[in-house]
Structure 1
Amino acid sequence: MDLSAGFVFTCPFKTNSGNKALSHLPVELAGLNAARPLVVASAGTEGRKAVKILRSAFGDSGMTLGLFDNVTQTADLGLVDHLKNLCLEKKYDAVIALGGGKAADVAKVLNLAVSLKTPDVRQLLPEAPIRVRLLPLVVAPAAGADGLETSRFAHLGRKVFSSESLAPVLAVLDPRLAKGKSSIGMAAAGIAALGRAVESHIQADQNPFRKAYSFAAIRFVRENLSVAVADPGNRKAALALLNAAAMSGCAFSNAAAGRLHKLGQVFYDLLGIPQGVIMAMCLPHILGDYLKEGQYDLAALFQPLAGDDAFARTPAGKRAEAACDLLNRLLKELQNALGKDLPKSLAEAGVSGYRKEEILDVLGADAEGRYLCGVVERVANGRPERKG
Structure 2
Amino acid sequence: MRISVLILFIFISQQVEAQTSTLVVADSLFAIGNYEKAIKIYESQSPIKAKTYQKIAAAQQARGLTSEALKAYQKAIEKDNNLTIVKSRYAKLLRQTKQFNKADSLYKNLINEFPENPNFHYQMGLVKQQLKDSTAVSYFHKTLEKDSLHLKVMSRLAKHYFKKKDYHKADAFAKKGLQINNQDVQMSLIYAQTAYALKSYHIAIERYLKVIDLGYESSNVYERLGMAYYQESDIEKAITYYKKAVELDIRKISAQQTIGQLLLINEKPHDAEKHLLIALQLAKPQLDNLYQNLGLTYKAQDNFKNAIEYFRLALKENPNKIRSQFELAVAIDNYYADLETRLSYYNLFIKKFKSHPKAENYLALAYRRISDIKKEQHLSNN
TM range (shorter): under 0.3
Higher relative contact order (CA 8 A, sep 6+): 1
Which structure shows the higher strand fraction? 1
More helix by share: 2
**Largest Rg, 1 or 2:** 2
TM-score (norm: length of structure 1): 0.27
